[in-house]
């Protein structure tokens, strides 16, 4: 058994629903006990030292021990094109994304990119990711192989497209179904891998392909289904032109069996009233991608309004439309975007979104995203004074929230001083 001492921060409730001082569990002299790759206990340092005197003990002083970050929507194949200049969504896909994804027909390129991507996010304190791959089955194998090698929890799926994409990036309804099913059978619930059925979005799938993906999901309802929804206004208009009989964008999925509690919908900025009602009724997960939404000019997500209305929301970098691999930077962007809607998200809400909130949106909060006993031991240590600018601000803090907020707003990988995956230190 390992006993780690330091400041600890976890949650006993959702800070969007419960006052933050009641929802959060902060110990200035806390401890986390790790046994067999899981969190066995949390509490005060004095209590756990007394209860487990023979545990191997490491004292991290005033470093903050908390759950590893959970990134609920990424495109690992876009690693090499992150921070490419200009473009809106559709132009971004044609100019940057599709040419780069063509390269993933080479399994060695896919493996190298998966290794690079996962090393980058681990260095930034992210221990769980949900990624889109490309249409190439080898891109899925590469990602899951790389995650397995690092012991990471990973969700991924073959991206399916049978129109409005380059010829080398299109499959068919039949091949999308067959490839996805084979990959699902190979990877789903293998170790820490979870498969997600992954139609990219309605503009790149015919009704026949969406129907095939809906049929596969009906056969394997324990899988997630991930896709995009209402990211940009011109995208919404495009969907209406491609599916003139649909009531709205969400209906293009709903009609084909692609709406449910294990559905995860990225962006969701321009939702109509009916869509909001149906997403809430279904218990679906929405994922806020703030750096992406600002970088490619998508719009301003209504975090507070959607959560207040009962939606389940997670947080994500959306690599590479998102301009950072860091969930700290993503939290900062979420705060800034919310401010444009007149809402100042509390630091507890931001940290919860980047951990347990994202895990809930992916239906894995029983496994990751918390320091609760029984959870898989994925956690990090943060230095709340990692740079001179942050240190001079945090030293003035009167409480944990004033101490951690400068790191949320100005922190980067230098703030992440330790990363553990299943109780094994990775950095």
The residue extents of the domains of the chain are: 2-68+370-425, 69-361
pTM tops 0.95, yes or no: yes
pLDDT at 4: 98
Share of the chain above pLDDT 90, in %: 98
pLDDT tens for 258-287 read: 999 999 999 999 999 999 999 999 999 999
Distance CA 312, CA 365 (A): 12
Fold matches, 2-68+370-425 and 69-361: no
Per DSSP, what are the bridge partners of residue 229?
Answer: 267
Contacts of residues 240-246 at CB distance under 8 Å and 24 or more positions apart, as own/partner, are: 242/202, 242/203, 243/202, 243/207
pLDDT beyond 90 at 144: yes
pLDDT tens for 308-366 read: 999 999 999 999 999 999 999 999 999 999 999 999 999 999 999 999 999 999 999 99
Distance CA 249, CA 112 (A): 36
- Return the structure tokens found at 138: 């080898």
Range of lowest pLDDT (79-88, 143-152, 221-230, 334-343): 79-88
Residues 152/187, Cβ–Cβ less than 8 Å: no
CA angle (361, 367, 373) in 5-degree steps: 125
Distance CA 418, CA 218 (A): 41
pLDDT at 89: 87
- Band the pLDDT of 92: cuts 50, 70, 90: confident
Find tokens 């397995």 and name the residue: 148
pLDDT at 115: 98
pLDDT at 127: 98
pLDDT beyond 90 at 86: no
CA angle (77, 327, 346) in 5-degree steps: 150
Residues 63/49, Cβ–Cβ less than 8 Å: no
What is the SS3 assignment for 225? strand
Where residue 128 falls (left for φ over 0; alpha for ψ -120 to 50; beta otherwise) is beta
Tell me which fold the domain 69-361 belongs to. TIM Barrel (3.20.20)
Taking residues 52-68, report their average pLDDT: 97
Cα–Cα nearest to 394, from 145, 37, 402? 402
DSSP summary character for residue 77: G
Find tokens 């959702």 and name the residue: 14
- Band the pLDDT of 427: cuts 50, 70, 90: confident
Where residue 423 falls (left for φ over 0; alpha for ψ -120 to 50; beta otherwise) is left
Total number of residues shown for the chain: 427
The bridge status of strand 379-382 relative to strand 416-421 is: antiparallel
Taking residues 81-93, report their average pLDDT: 90
What CATH number belongs to 2-68+370-425? Answer: 2.30.40.10
pLDDT tens for 196-230 read: 999 999 999 999 999 999 999 999 999 999 999 99
- Band the pLDDT of 253: cuts 50, 70, 90: very high
Where residue 338 falls (left for φ over 0; alpha for ψ -120 to 50; beta otherwise) is alpha
Distance CA 370, CA 357 (A): 10
Cα–Cα nearest to 223, from 252, 202, 194, 201? 194
pLDDT at 88: 86
């Amino acid at each position: 058994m390992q006993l780690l001492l330091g400041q600890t921060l976890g949650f006993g409730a959702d800070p969007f629903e419960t006052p933050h001082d009641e929802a959060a569990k902060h110990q200035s002299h806390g401890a986390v006990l790790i046994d067999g790759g899981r969190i066995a206990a949390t509490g005060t340092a004095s209590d756990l030292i007394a209860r487990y005197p023979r545990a191997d003990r490491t004292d991290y002083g005033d470093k903050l021990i908390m759950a590893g970050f959970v990134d609920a929507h990424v495109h690992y194949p876009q690693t090499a094109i992150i921070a490419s200049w200009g473009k809106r969504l559709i132009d971004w896909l044609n100019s940057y994304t599709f040419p780069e994804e063509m390269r993933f027909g080479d399994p060695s390129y896919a493996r190298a990119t998966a290794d690079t991507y996962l090393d980058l996010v681990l260095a930034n304190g992210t221990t769980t990711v949900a990624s889109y791959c490309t249409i190439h089955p080898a891109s899925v194998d590469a990602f899951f192989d790389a995650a397995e090698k690092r012991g990471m929890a990973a969700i991924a799926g073959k991206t399916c497209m049978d129109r409005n994409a380059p010829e080398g990036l299109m499959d068919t309804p039949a091949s999308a179904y067959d490839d996805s099913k084979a990959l699902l059978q190979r990877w789903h619930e293998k170790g820490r891998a979870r498969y997600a059925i992954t139609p990219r979005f309605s503009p790149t799938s015919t009704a026949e392909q969406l129907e095939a993906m809906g049929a596969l999901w009906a056969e394997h309802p324990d899988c997630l289904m991930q896709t995009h929804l209402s990211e940009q206004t011109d995208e919404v208009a495009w969907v209406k032109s491609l599916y003139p009989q649909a009531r709205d964008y969400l209906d293009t999925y709903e009609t084909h069996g692609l709406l449910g509690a294990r559905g995860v919908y990225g962006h969701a900025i321009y939702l109509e009233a009916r869509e909001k009602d149906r997403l809430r009724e279904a218990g679906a997960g929405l994922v806020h991608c703030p750096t992406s939404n600002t970088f490619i000019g998508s719009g301003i997500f209504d975090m507070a309004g959607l959560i207040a209305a009962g939606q389940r929301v997670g947080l994500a970098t959306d690599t590479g439309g998102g301009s950072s691999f860091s969930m700290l930077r993503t939290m900062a962007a979420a705060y800034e975007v919310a401010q444009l809607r007149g809402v100042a998200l509390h630091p507890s809400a931001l940290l919860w979104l980047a951990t347990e909130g994202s895990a809930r949106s992916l239906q894995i909060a029983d496994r990751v995203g918390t320091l609760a006993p029984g959870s898989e031991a994925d956690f990090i240590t943060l230095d709340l004074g990692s740079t001179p600018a942050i240190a001079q601000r945090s030293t003035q803090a009167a409480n944990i929230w004033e101490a951690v907020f400068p790191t949320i707003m100005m922190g980067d990988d230098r703030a992440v001083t330790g990363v553990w995956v299943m109780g094994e230190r990775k950095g």
